[in-house]
Amino acid sequence: MLRIESVLGSRSDPAMHEAIHHLEHHHAVEFVTVAVGDLDRRRLMARTDKGEEVAITLPRDQKLHDGAVLVLDHHRAVIVRAGEQRWLRFTPRSASDALELGYHAGNLHWRVRFDGEDLLVAQDGQASAYAARIEQLISGGRVEMSEEAE
Amino acid sequence: MDTRTSTHSPSPSRVGAARIGIGGPVGSGKTALIERLIPAFAARGVSLAIVTNDLVTAEDAERIRRSGLIDPARVAAVEAGACPHTVIREDPTLNIAAADDLEALFPDVELILIESGGDNLASTFSLDLVDWWMFVIDVAGGDDIPRKNGPGVLKCDLLVVNKTDLAPYVGVDLAAMAAQAATARAGRPMALTNCRSNEGVDAIADRIVSDVLFR
């Protein structure tokens, strides 16, 4: 088991980029995919794409992120890759429906983005669980919901 | 276990104690679970500290301090003053400060339990505050709780269904309740406990030692 106790930097850091690029040519770069919802954790168990178990324990002032470099030496690099974030698209029929949808989204602490007249909600769990929270809006045809990947 | 060094060394900063949250409705048995976990962690050689949250008192902290199970100085109280979920999710500053203080006072501490003040099924923990959290419900609260899809039940790392001994007295089919909880959580971990008789507590302690402390 590989134990990680700090983030060394980001793969985009100029100082690291060159070393990682060199290791890529030798197929010595491994990735640890971490679900978006788990990136805020300071402690988690994960596995590299080559199958090695990784126990991550970070200081409180550090966080994981897409491209976080966990190991970088002359032999290999281990880098975090953020998992796919799925989004739910909510399309309200009218301004008043949008107002009500916005109220519920805030009250439910959903993470949102705006896309024109649509509301995008970061999906963490089954879509049906989100639909159930605003069932009256959806069954009444006031808001349409669809799923999409990032 | 292999701790890798690197040719690229970051500025040194300390990996502190693991912090785990214990949430759940009023009366579900959060404090009782802590009272059982204290000796369980002691038996596993885990140095422990505790933060409790209450609305306007330090009732839970005082109960644990008086228990004789742990050095009272290792128990800190946070008075939420308002909605209990606010201080574990929206603005956990008070709890972070309380945990930081305990770590400063007891540098050997390896694990800090942060018990939320009782709240409804919507309460969840910020991952800025805790590394892992469990949500405690109880059989006597009704076998329909898992079906209500509350965020606390769905999102926690471990769902604890407590007071299993009461099932026959409150008309609950425990097996069916557990099955519904497993379905709602898509198979994520769950534990059945009877804290009064210490049933199921060792399994929780073992899981925390394995999944959070990586021993």
User: What CATH number was assigned to the domain covering residues B16-211?
Assistant: 3.40.50.300
User: What tens digit of pLDDT does each residue of B95-127 get?
Assistant: 999 999 999 999 999 999 999 977 778 889 999
Residues 6+ positions from A101 with CB-CB distance below 8 Å: A90, A92, A119, A134, A137, A143
pLDDT higher than 80, residue B8: no
The mean pLDDT value of chain B amounts to 90
Residue A150's pLDDT is: 60
Q: From the list B1, B16, B155, which residue is nearest A1 (CB)?
A: B1
Q: What is the pTM of this model?
A: 0.87
pLDDT of residue B176: 93
Q: Does B14 touch chain A (CB under 8 A)?
A: yes
- Quickly tell me which residue has 């009461």 as its tokens: B166
For residue B13, what pLDDT band results from cuts at 50, 70 and 90? low
C-alpha to C-alpha distance for B172 and B161, rounded to whole angstroms? 12
Inter-residue contact B29 to B163 (CB < 8 Å): yes
Q: CA–CA distance from A131 to each of B121, B184, B201 (Å)?
A: 18, 15, 36
Chain B: residue nearest A3 by CA?
B3
* Distance in angstroms (rounded) separating the CA atoms of residues A123 and A119: 12
| Rounded Cα–Cα distance for residues B135 and B23 (Å) | 5
Cβ of B214 within 8 Å of Cβ of A59? The answer is no
- The answer to whether the CB atoms of A3 and B1 lie below 8 A apart is yes
The CA angle B187-B191-B197, to the nearest 5 degrees, is: 165
- pLDDT bracket for residue B204 (50, 70, 90): very high
Flag whether pLDDT at B9 surpasses 80. no
- Asked if B187 reaches chain A (Cβ–Cβ under 8 Å), the answer is no
B10 contacts in chain A (CB < 8 Å): 6-9
| Domain assignments of chain B as residue spans, ordered by start | 16-211
pLDDT for residue B97:
96
Determine whether the interchain pair A124/B16 forms a contact, defined as Cβ–Cβ distance below 8 Å. no
For residue B6, what pLDDT band results from cuts at 50, 70 and 90? very low
Q: What is the pLDDT of residue B90?
A: 84
Does the interface predicted TM-score (ipTM) exceed 0.85? Answer: no
Q: Which of B121, B131, B155 to mutate to test the interface with A (most CBs of A within 10 A)?
A: B131
Partner-chain contact B214 A57, CB within 8 Å:
yes
Residue type, A18: E
Read off the pLDDT band of B17 (50, 70, 90).
Answer: very high
Q: With a cut of 80, say whether residue B52 has pLDDT above it.
A: yes
Structure token digits, residue B140:
């006597």
Does B45 touch chain A if contact means CB atoms closer than 8 Å?
Answer: no
| pLDDT on residue B119 | 75
The Cα of B115 is separated from the nearest Cα of chain A by a number of Å equal to: 18
Lowest mean pLDDT among A130-139, B9-18, B29-38, B189-198: B9-18
Pick B212's closest partner by Cβ from A43, A71, A125.
A43
A125 CB neighbours in chain B (<8 A) are 154-155
pLDDT band at B207 (very low <50, low <70, confident <90, very high): very high
Stretch among B34-48, B81-95, B194-208 having the lowest mean pLDDT: B81-95
Asked if A43 and B214 come within 8 Å (Cβ–Cβ), the reply is yes
pLDDT in tens, chain A (150 residues): 999 999 999 999 998 999 999 999 999 999 999 999 899 999 999 999 999 999 999 999 999 999 999 999 999 999 999 998 899 999 999 999 999 999 999 988 899 999 999 999 999 888 988 999 999 999 999 999 998 856
| Lowest mean pLDDT, pick from A46-55, B50-59, B182-191 | B50-59
